[in-house]
């Protein structure tokens, strides 16, 4: 077994180990980078995710029904 096999990876978009989290609190250069790169303030709570039905009703283009 290599050292990489011993590493538990954080959960990202549904992948990874449950209970492993990531915080920007101890990374002082990450927040300004994210604000500059994608204009997202990491200290502002995001909106809750829409269900697929809610997205379809809102006309979200990624929520179209398959043909």
Band of pLDDT at residue 38, cut at 50, 70 and 90: very high
Identify which of 32, 51, 54, 52 has the alpha carbon closest to the alpha carbon of residue 42: 32
8-27 pLDDT tens trace = 665 556 666 777 777 888 99
Q: Which residue has the higher pLDDT, 26 or 4?
A: 26
Between CA 48 and CA 63 the distance in angstroms is 16
DSSP 16: S
**45, 33 in Cβ contact below 8 A?**
no
pLDDT at res. 23: 81
User: Are the beta carbons of 64 and 58 closer than 8 angstroms?
Assistant: no
Q: What is the chain's mean pLDDT, rounded?
A: 78
């Amino acid at each position: 077994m290599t050292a990489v096999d011993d590493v538990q990876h954080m959960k990202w978009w549904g992948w990874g180990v449950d209970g492993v989290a990531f915080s920007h609190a101890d990374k002082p250069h990450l927040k300004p980078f994210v604000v500059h790169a994608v204009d997202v303030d990491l200290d502002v709570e995001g909106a809750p995710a829409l269900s697929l039905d809610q997205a379809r009703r809102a006309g979200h283009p990624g929520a179209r029904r398959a043909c």
